[in-house]
A and B are shown apart, each in its own frame.
Chain A
Amino acid sequence: MSGPKFPPQPNDPSSSTPQSSDPAETSQAKERPAAKGITRRGFLKGAGVAAAGTALLEGAQVFTREAAAATRREHDGVKEFGPGAVPVALQVNGKEYTLQIEPRTTLADALRVHMGLTGTKVVCDRGPCSGCTVLMDDMPVNSCMTLAMDAIGHRVTTIEGLQSEGELHPVQAAFVKHDAMQCGFCTPGMVMTCSALLKKNSHPTEDDVRQATAGNLCRCGTYPRIFAATLEAAGVSGKESIRNA
């Protein structure tokens, strides 16, 4: 696979420069009497968004002149954006969106708050539930753990973009047929994860489906239906799947 790796790896120097550029931020942190600790957003803000001379930057360069203009500093090959809003161009569900967002904005918030694409759900906002899964190119990512800027130059597909010409995607259709949902709050994330699995592996076993959805939490407990639906969407005989009226 060519192109940038997402999400940025923890050992990627570009994602580990927690230099606060904002003195107000630091003093603010000191006087947090009711403080619940540092918020994740606050941390992201403190960290700023720095793009080193890595694949990330290449991704960043393709998109916008304006963003470059908004660059606050550039030194040692490190560009820093923000903390104010910068223009960001994203390609979502085949459409171009240009947003004016702070660089710390997560992809989930960019989709939900700034583009009104609320099909993607935010459940935990920190990684372990995958309720916010979207595809970046064909890879499922947790959009709450991905910065919107990291999606630049990639095809983002959300649950709203999975249908083609008004027809449900086979995974969606199979979820309907198997009633693989109750409250439905996990459903967009589950559907995205399962559709990504089928792109990679057109003949999964039930274990493959379990493995793929291991990070997707469903509190209503619809898993057996999800497994059966995904196997059916793949055209795999239900022999191995859970018998379930």
Chain B
Amino acid sequence: MATTKLPSSADALLGAAADAAKPPAGMETVTMPYGVPGYTLHDVQRQVPTTEPPVLPVNADLEYIGKSPKRWDAHAKVSGSGRYTADIQLPGMLYAKFVSSNVPHAKVVSIDTSAAEKVPGVKGVFVIENLLGGARLLNPSLEVSKYPIVRYAGQPIAAVAATQPHIAEEAALLVKVQYDAKPFVVDMEMARQSDAPPVFPGPANQGGSAGGGGGARNVPQTGNIHGPAVHKRGDVEQGFKDADFIVESKYTTQVQVHNALETHGVVADWKPDLLTVWASTQGTASVREELASFFKLPKSQVRVITEFMGGGFGAKFGPGNPGVVAAALSKQTGAPVRLMLDRKEEQLSVGNRPSSDQTLKIGAKKDGTLTAIQLISFGTAGCGTGAGCAGPATNLYQSASLHTEENDVFINAGPAAAFRAPGHPQGAFALEQTIDELAEKLNMQPLEFRDKIDTNPVRRVERQIVRESALWKSRNPVPNADRGPIKRGVGLSQSVWYRHIVMDSAAEVRVHRDGSVEVLSAVQDIGTGIKTVMAQILAEQFGVPPQQVSVKIGDTNYPVGPNSGGSVTTASLTPAVRDAAWQAAQKFLVSVAPALGTTPDDLVLTKGEVHSKSGHMQPISFRRAAAKMDTSEVSAQARRIPDYDPKHYDTYGGVDVAEIEVDTEMGIIHVKQFFAVHDCGRPMNPSQVINQINGGLIQGTSFALYENRLIDPTYGLMVNANLDLYKIAGARDIPKLHVQLVESYIAQSSTDASGIGEAAGIISAAAAIGNAFYNATGVRIRSTPMTPSVVLETLSKAPQRSNA
């Protein structure tokens, strides 16, 4: 996970400071807004470093922050001028193409590249000896092989670089790979059997990426089953004894593939003193770090550029095999090398959301108190790990006891990667339906029951908003109330995500004598709009419209930025940007004070004007004052400081309501609309936040109804490794989306921003649809994707209810 633990000394310092009556040296006490305006807003005191900028008021009192100016790079995006990695063309650039395995499990005996090398136009062939991704054997001597063992069809084996894309493609076909095929297994149920072919001959582990994912280490491994990773709180046995009602059911979810529209890939240009890599990545920092360590280069000699980026959703951290191979080919050939995956390679080799098979058991007392939650889960992350899905069961509700066991099941398929709220859509699908089921047993309404067991104050407000909504009021609490074949249902689900802060978040702000301002950070904009938010922060500080702020990001030549995963970017980076802007503004005042005939502390810069506190002069505009700077430029760099009160831990989330119609004859679920109420601290740009929530709801709906990676068990090949047969929700499938943002101040930083990427509807959409399905039909649907065959089977297995 991308969490950065606070250094314990800073932790202790701030912790102590928060308690002490009098702030220690270098700290001051400030009053900050806390809570939800209109509901719970009040003041709290925090002790913060004296170098921090003044406390920001709530959004209503600000000019640019918390407003929705147009996306900073919207013009570049609508006019086609934004240059993505896929668009980079350099003089003499070669095009590289992977040679990938077409068998799911094998030892590579030999690789003959001679025919490929002879093709006119081919400039280099590279054979992979050190493969990235997936789990690794703890004891590598169990497998002696010159080349990496093939553990999935589509695993890269080698790559060819040529002057034209099609020459590389054709030459790649000429690389002869001799395989020693091994038995394979691509189905999780089969892989769990004791006689299943082992994917690894011994225990294997996989680390997480900057975006989360990865699985537990130091857990048992039996056959293909890696786990369980056990977490306990209290005594569940006692908890179930104490329960008046117990609900236990099994839920399954499928493998979902990220399918960002821009595939993984890089353009690498290896020069003796500098490796420059344009990468389609969520983390310029992670690409730089890993390339430097892979090639044993000083980090200072690796530069990573990501100016525009076509989506990642968690799968694009580090250089991966494309990055490493392109860099190696560039070194070998002396020319820049472009290696962008094609769609099939994207589907097979660079990540997916693991499946799940969950048995969830929850006990409650008559009054609704939860006594025990027990989750036993299995899931496959292919030849990797990271299929755990206990997050929601662990973190959403208060229970006297908890017991979770998460198991990864290895199969011969591409390794999973973090995917937007790893584990949470799966976990919420089971948990939120079980909570509804329990509510019915307790004779409580879904909102009422959640009010009882969910102590999060912001979700309490969100439930209140849902309760008062027209959509929720229109819900018939009696399931299966519609008589005809088309049945309407309304259901809800909650979501939870966590405040992760990345301390490697820095920015520089420069003020120029011509009155222009710029902000620089290596952070990348993966579509969430951080460029716009950075511009807004400078606009608020200097009174310059956001479009006039120069935003320079996505380049490791600038101060380090966070990897964008786990909803960390806005929460981590914006305080550094604001601190840098504030400090640059103070330096600016120092720079202009002599020419204005006063001292810096007599001056304030506010709303685009420089004022004299003593009334020494009339206010003058920022731009006119800038002309009086004593150097041509002043600048300040700031890094993220720890949250103001790290002892106070916040989660974010939302409550999503789905309205669906189930065609009980055709088995088709029509999702009509969502009403989604979400929080993410201070929304820095509400329009962009809502855009992300729309996207999360749509991805979640697509997960619930359509998407499914299908692997043929006979040959071990993915049969829908494209976008025609891998069905993703499209324009005609999109429900009406009504999003309501809840501003939630948490008094944690100079911007008090949080993130939204994960808790954006992707977690709760499938569960809300599931609960709506029950409301419509009186039958629980426990499996995704809810295709017509799943729906019809679900309905047919249900005890017959009289429809008359």
Using CB atoms and an 8 Å cutoff, list the residues of chain A in contact with chain B.
28, 31-36, 39, 41-42, 45, 102, 104, 109, 112-113, 116-129, 131, 158-160, 162-163, 168, 172, 175-177, 179, 181-188, 191, 209-211, 213-227, 242-245
Contact = CB atoms under 8 A, between A and B. Distances in A.
A96 B683 CA distance: 48
Among all A-B residue pairs, the 6 with the closest Cβ atoms: A119-B80, A183-B527, A221-B695, A185-B310, A221-B698, A184-B77
Contacts of A168: 75, 78-79
Contact of A245 (B175, B687, B692): B687
Nearest to A122: B86
Nearest to B309: A183
Nearest to A35: B173
A132 to B, nearest CB: 11
Nearest to A160: B80
Contact of B738 (A216, A220, A243): A243
A244 B690 contact: yes
A219 B311 contact: yes
Contacts of A172: 78-79
Interface in B66-83: 68, 70-71, 73-83
B384 to A, nearest CB: 22
B691 A187 contact: no
Given A41-B169, A116-B89, A245-B686, A126 B177 contact: no
Contacts of A113: 89, 165
Contacts of B170: 28, 39, 41-42
B699 A39 contact: no
Contacts of B77: 181, 184, 187
B173 A39 contact: yes
A185 B261 contact: yes
Interface of B: 68, 70-71, 73-84, 86-87, 89, 99-102, 115, 157, 165-166, 169-170, 172-178, 258-263, 308-311, 313, 342-344, 526-529, 686-688, 690-692, 694-699, 722-724, 728, 730-732, 734, 736-739, 741
Given A34-B101, A183-B262, 4 more contacts: A34-B175, A109-B165, A128-B722, A172-B79
Nearest to A36: B102
B695 A28 contact: no
Contact of B691 (A129, A176, A179): A179
B694 A125 contact: no
Contacts of B310: 121, 183-185
A148 B722 CA distance: 23
B169 A39 contact: yes
Nearest to A41: B166
Contacts of B737: 224, 242, 244
A1 B728 CA distance: 34
B695 A220 contact: yes
14 contacts: A28-B173, A32-B174, A34-B175, A42-B173, A109-B165, A126-B722, A175-B78, A176-B74, A179-B74, A183-B311, A210-B732, A221-B697, A224-B736, A242-B737
A118 B76 CA distance: 12
B451 to A, nearest CB: 27
Nearest to A210: B731
Contacts of B695: 182, 220-222
A214 B311 contact: no
B17 to A, nearest CB: 38
A123 B731 contact: no
Contacts of B89: 113, 116, 118
Nearest to B73: A184
Nearest to B95: A113
Contact of B311 (A109, A117, A175, A185): A185
A131 B730 CA distance: 13
Contacts of B342: 125
Select the residue from A123, A159, A219 with max chain B CB neighbours within 10 A: A219
A28 B167 CA distance: 13
B527 A184 contact: yes
Contacts of A123: 261-263, 343, 723
A2 to B, nearest CB: 30
A32 B89 CA distance: 30
B261 A244 contact: no
Contacts of B698: 221, 223
Nearest to A184: B77
A184 B82 contact: yes
Contact of B70 (A121, A126, A163, A177): A177
Contacts of B75: 168, 176
A187 to B, nearest CB: 5
A227 to B, nearest CB: 8
Contacts of B70: 176-177, 179
Contacts of A225: 691, 694
Contacts of A28: 170, 173-174
A31 to B, nearest CB: 7
A216 B74 contact: no
Given A185-B261, A217-B728, A222 B694 contact: yes
Contacts of B173: 28, 32, 34-36, 39, 42
B694 A185 contact: no
B763 to A, nearest CB: 14
B586 to A, nearest CB: 33
A188 B86 CA distance: 14
B683 to A, nearest CB: 10
A185 B262 contact: yes
A210 B734 contact: yes
A186 B261 contact: yes
A221 B699 contact: yes
Contacts of B81: 119, 160
B697 A118 contact: no
B74 A175 contact: yes
A118 B307 CA distance: 14
Nearest to B82: A184
A221 B102 contact: no
A175 B741 CA distance: 22
Contacts of B99: 34
B734 A182 contact: no
Nearest to A159: B80
A224 B761 CA distance: 15
A206 to B, nearest CB: 10
B78 A176 contact: yes
Contacts of B76: 184
Select the residue from A120, A168, A179, A183 with max chain B CB neighbours within 10 A: A183
A183 B316 CA distance: 14
A224 to B, nearest CB: 5
Select the residue from B82, B731, B734 with max chain A CB neighbours within 10 A: B731
A120 B84 CA distance: 11
Nearest to A242: B736
B178 A214 contact: no
B353 to A, nearest CB: 13
A233 B136 CA distance: 53
Contacts of B157: 34
